[in-house]
Amino acid sequence: MKFIKISLVGLLVVLFVLSPVIGFCESDKPFNRSAGDFGIFCIGQFDEEGTTDIEGFDEKFGIESTTSFGVGFEYTINQHINLNTSILYGKTEVFLEEHDYYYSYYYDEYYDYGYKDKFDVDIFNFIFNVDYNILKSRFTPVITAGAGFMLLKYDYSDSVGKGFTCNVGAGFRWDVNDTLFIKSIYRVNWVTAEDIDPLTLNGVQFIIGAKF
pLDDT score, position 62: 92
pLDDT score, position 7: 44
CA distance 108 to 151: 45
pLDDT score, position 28: 46
Q: Which residues contact 93 (CB under 8 A, 6 or more apart)?
A: 63, 64, 118, 119, 120, 121
For residue 196, the 8-state DSSP code is B
Q: What is the pTM of this model?
A: 0.79
In the chain, what are the domains?
2-211 (2.40.160.20)
Exposure class string for 83-116: b at 16+ Cβ within 10 A, else e: ebebebebebbbbeeeeeeeeeeeeeeeeeeeee
Q: Which residues pair with 126 in a beta bridge?
A: 87, 149
For residue 87, the 8-state DSSP code is E
pLDDT score, position 100: 67
What is the residue-level pLDDT of the chain in tens, covering all 212 positions?
444 444 445 555 555 555 455 544 554 455 778 888 999 999 999 999 998 988 877 788 999 999 999 999 999 999 999 999 999 999 999 998 886 666 666 667 766 666 778 999 999 999 999 999 999 888 999 999 999 999 999 887 777 889 999 999 999 999 998 899 999 999 999 999 888 889 999 999 999 999 98
CA distance 166 to 146: 6
